Amino acid sequence: MNKYQKVAYYPGCALEGTGHAYNSSTKAVGKALGLELDEVKDWNCCGAMEVKNVDPKVQTYLSSRVMAIAAHEMKAKVVMAPCNGCYHNLKKAEYDLANDEASRQTVDRISKKAGHETYQAGSLETIHALDWIKDGIGEEELKRRLKSSLKGLKVANYYGCMYTRPRHIFPEKDQGPGSESTSQPHFMDDLLAVAGAENVDFPLKTACCGGAHTLSDSDTSTQLVLNILQAAEVAGADVIATECPTCHSGLEMHQVRAEKVLGTKTKVRMLYFTQLLGVALGVSPRKLGVHENVSDGLALLKEKGIA
């Protein structure tokens, strides 16, 4: 059996809040493809950027607790996190626990006091929703299961920072043909191309949306988001496909803010890549939460005759 057939699922806090539609569309796509998700029991926040800024080792502990439950209690071999922040932090904790004695000691100490087994590096493989679909189903099988096509839809694939940087926490990337690239990521491009989308040549795939300071330094974030939106429009995109709830809500929020504060209007819409795949797999836009997005993706899909 494929090792990604059934994985431990770590949705994270954002997917229970602003990223609700990413959660429902990820589950819907999994269901349509026959992939199983087993949610991590009693999971906690991964620590995000914020706890890391207060103390990096507390973030390492928080992420390790999630992995400890998945690996030692649920006996899972693979944990899947659709949120770039969660995915990044689990990967970072894995790296720190494998390479840094001080991190190991701190995590062991807090884990013991918290009353659970300490996570041992190497017990679990952390993957992103992109890996899950790309390697769990593969392009040929995905193609076989398509119910419709995204034909005529021009897509800019936006991966953000946390999916590829820094390189050292992603040892499986940049490993030649078939592996993901940290400088030119392509997994989302590959999947959406199979679904019939026309991927535009988008130079800001891994540019920063300013998510870390989205509210504390809004002017900077608005400018960074505007760069991304305008570059996508210049590249001819109708849609920016996203794979992270922080990027997605950042793009949506600052698109509105740029309009209100700077008077700069952009038309490009944001949709989670799972929403786009879901549509091609015949899932109804409502089940994929398309109506929950701030930018009106539904109108665009209708206009293109896709949904």
Footprint of other proteins (CB under 8 A): 13-14, 16-18, 20, 42-45, 47-51, 53-58, 61-62, 65, 106, 109-110, 113-116, 161, 164-167, 182, 207-208, 210, 212-213, 215-217, 220, 223-224, 252-253, 256-257, 259-261, 291-294, 296, 298
CB 234 → other proteins: shortest distance, Å?
17
The smaller minimum CB distance to other proteins, of residues 109 and 151, is found at 109
The smaller minimum CB distance to other proteins, of residues 20 and 186, is found at 20
CB 173 → other proteins: shortest distance, Å?
12
Alpha-carbon distance of 17 to 169, in angstroms, equals 27
The H or E element spanning position 78 is: strand 78-81
CB 109 → other proteins: shortest distance, Å?
7
CA atoms within 13 A on the CB side of 93: 34
- Tally Cβ neighbours within 10 Å of residue 74: 16
CB 144 → other proteins: shortest distance, Å?
33
β-partners of residue 127 are 80
CB 245 → other proteins: shortest distance, Å?
10
The smaller minimum CB distance to other proteins, of residues 36 and 174, is found at 174
β-partners of residue 239 are 155, 269
The smaller minimum CB distance to other proteins, of residues 6 and 72, is found at 72
The three-state secondary structure class of 39 is: strand
The smaller minimum CB distance to other proteins, of residues 141 and 174, is found at 174
Token duo for residue 10: 């770590």
CB 221 → other proteins: shortest distance, Å?
8
Alpha carbon separation from 298 to 43, 79, 98, 175, 214 (Å, rounded): 33, 31, 45, 38, 26
The H or E element spanning position 127 is: strand 125-128
Strands 125-128 and 36-39 turn out to be unpaired
CB 58 → other proteins: shortest distance, Å?
6
Name the residue with tokens 């890391």. 52
The smaller minimum CB distance to other proteins, of residues 133 and 228, is found at 228
Q: What strands, in cross-sheet order, belong to the sheet with 198-199?
A: 198-199, 154-157, 239-242, 269-272
The smaller minimum CB distance to other proteins, of residues 78 and 224, is found at 224
CA atoms within 13 A on the CB side of 124: 35
